[in-house]
Structure 1
Amino acid sequence: MSETAQRPAQRTDCHPYRRPKDAATLILIDRSAATPRVLLGKRHDKVIFMPGKFVFPGGSVENTDNKVPVAAPIPKELEANLLKGSPKIQSSRARSLALAAIREACEETGLCLGRKAEGAAARLTGAWQPFGDAGLLPDPSSLYLVARAITPPGSVRRFDTRFFSADASAIAHRVEGVVHADAELVELIWVEVDAKPLAGLHSITRSVLGELQKRLAAGPLRHDADVPFFRFCGGRMQRDILPGAA
């Protein structure tokens, strides 16, 4: 099922064709107030991709993401949702995507989703070191897939991004000093889902935020909800629907 936007996609640059890289983004939701809020970060003005834009924390999948031990496996329904659409991926890639979202959120915001597991956590190194230092293993069991989007052809960077959400109550550890003037994200803000869009909000971020607002208005997040898939076809942004897990 699909629907295509009526106006052509705006192009601000043109680069040789690049195959999209798998990427993952984490949308943290704070439900402590009457209106849910989501966490956004402002990217540094000098980064190549989306400079100065407000985005959800996220980035590319790394080879180590599928090898890290976890506190709990990803839900079967989440895995089923990640396996839908084209190009096809394997279960191991689905796991990597979910864990990449958790790793990138910790790297860019200092907020880590995990559970205590002292013995196994001690083996974590590299990008996962903050979890090990806190005696945590990453925990993808609370993630939901809320959208997927592929950067249009001709962009300076191309990503096939899966947008995950998780409740802020799943944050088990905070690393101080991650966000600063010289970091990839220079500012973090919590924004109400029904607030007026920020001036520096990227169009895809705005579209995903609108989808999430509708999901939250319908009740608690569920794995059987349809997942919007944004991609460009013939110079226009197309919104396909990936049916949620039964």
Structure 2
Amino acid sequence: MNGSAASNIDLLTEDHLARISDQRHPPRVPRDAASLVLLDRSSDVPRALLGKRGKRHAFMPDLYVFPGGRRDPGDNKTPLAQPLREEVADKLMQRTAARFHRYAARGLAVAAAREMQEEAHLSLTPPEYGGALRPDVSHFRYLARAITPPGQSRRFDTRFFACFCDELGIDPTRIRDSDELHDLSWIPVNAHDSHPLPRITKVILSDLVQALDEDSTLLFGRSVPFYYFRNGRFVREMI
């Protein structure tokens, strides 16, 4: 683990332990969710798209996050213009329950694409399909997985995907704010201190910087960090 990721995890753990004695929310089963870290590599330093959640949100208000949200039942059945690469689909199946099947894995990719369209007005569906949701997820890399700690108002088992704008012909200037995210911004992956981010988002960005340093194309079959809470501490496990 690189040093910046380690320090962010320590801070995240301290934040949670400071609250855990005043835990007010009953135990919740994490819901499957997905986020897409969309990258613009037209500059020397790649930039990631983040937006600010409203102050009235129950979960992570007033913080900048990647577009994303929970997997809806219909996401599993949504047709794809191009599917996930086999090595990405295989990696998504690791460390999952028996009831988690291939359709659920592809549904996570659909959820990430759908949320990007809803929250940033960027479509991952090729033009020939018109206005229908039929995303091309063949360029998605599986970047990380994180489960929200116990005691939160919402809990998610989030899979973070990453891909580059130019791979899908996306114009970075066409982003538009939505009801879910405003002040959408392209933020350098290694310089984000000017924006208030959740601790886990900082950790994911640290992992991303390390991955880009190792290979600027982001290998599809690379090992994936998995973050979860166990016995009072965050765990970082590679899958």
Tell me the CA shift for residue 186 of structure 1.
1.6
Within 5 Å, which residues of 2 pair with 1:18-57?
Answer: 18-57=28-67
One-letter identity of the residue aligned with 1:234: N
1:102 maps onto 2:107 in alignment: no
Give structure 1 stretches of 5+ with no counterpart. Answer: 122-130
One-letter identity of the residue aligned with 1:37: R
Within 5 Å, which residues of 2 pair with 1:107-186?
Answer: 107-118=118-129, 121=130, 131-132=131-132, 137-169=134-166, 170-172=168-170, 178-179=176-177, 183-186=179-182
Secondary structure in 1 matching 2:184: strand
In the alignment, what sits opposite 2:199? 203
In the alignment, what sits opposite 1:80? 90
Tell me the CA shift for residue 226 of structure 1.
1.0
What is the TM-score with the length of structure 1 in the denominator? Answer: 0.84
In the alignment, what sits opposite 1:192? 188
Q: Could you tell me how far apart the structure 1 residues matched to 2:53 and 2:26 are?
A: 24
List per-residue Cα deviations over 1:64-92 (Å, max 9, x = no partner): 11212211121111100100113352111
Question: In 2 relative to 1, CA 176–37 (structure 1 residues): closer, same or farther, beyond 3 Å?
Answer: closer
Compute the RMSD of aligned alpha carbons. 2.3
Q: Could you tell me how far apart the structure 2 residues matched to 1:193 and 1:174 are?
A: 15
In the alignment, what sits opposite 2:3? none
Q: Could you tell me how far apart the structure 1 residues matched to 2:223 and 2:200 are?
A: 18
List per-residue Cα deviations over 1:26-85 (Å, max 9, x = no partner): 000001011111111110111111000110010000111121221112111110010011
Give structure 2 stretches of 5+ with no counterpart. Answer: 1-5
Q: Could you tell me how far apart the structure 1 residues matched to 2:176 and 2:186 are?
A: 16
Taking every aligned residue pair, what percent have the same amino acid on both sides? Answer: 39
Question: In 2 relative to 1, CA 231–9 (structure 1 residues): closer, same or farther, beyond 3 Å?
Answer: farther
Which of the pair is proportionally richer in strand?
1
The one of 25, 45, 63 equivalent to 1:15 is 25
One-letter identity of the residue aligned with 2:29: R
Q: Structure 1 stretches (4+) deviating beyond 6 angstroms?
A: 173-177
In the alignment, what sits opposite 2:213? 217
Tell me the CA shift for residue 184 of structure 1.
1.5
Q: Could you tell me how far apart the structure 2 residues matched to 1:86 and 1:73 are?
A: 20
In the alignment, what sits opposite 2:224? 227
Q: Could you tell me how far apart the structure 1 residues matched to 2:88 and 2:119 are?
A: 24
Which of the pair is proportionally richer in helix?
2
One-letter identity of the residue aligned with 1:108: E
Q: Could you tell me how far apart the structure 1 residues matched to 2:194 and 2:65 are?
A: 10
Aligned residues: 224
1:91 maps onto 2:102 in alignment: yes
Tell me the CA shift for residue 9 of structure 1.
3.9
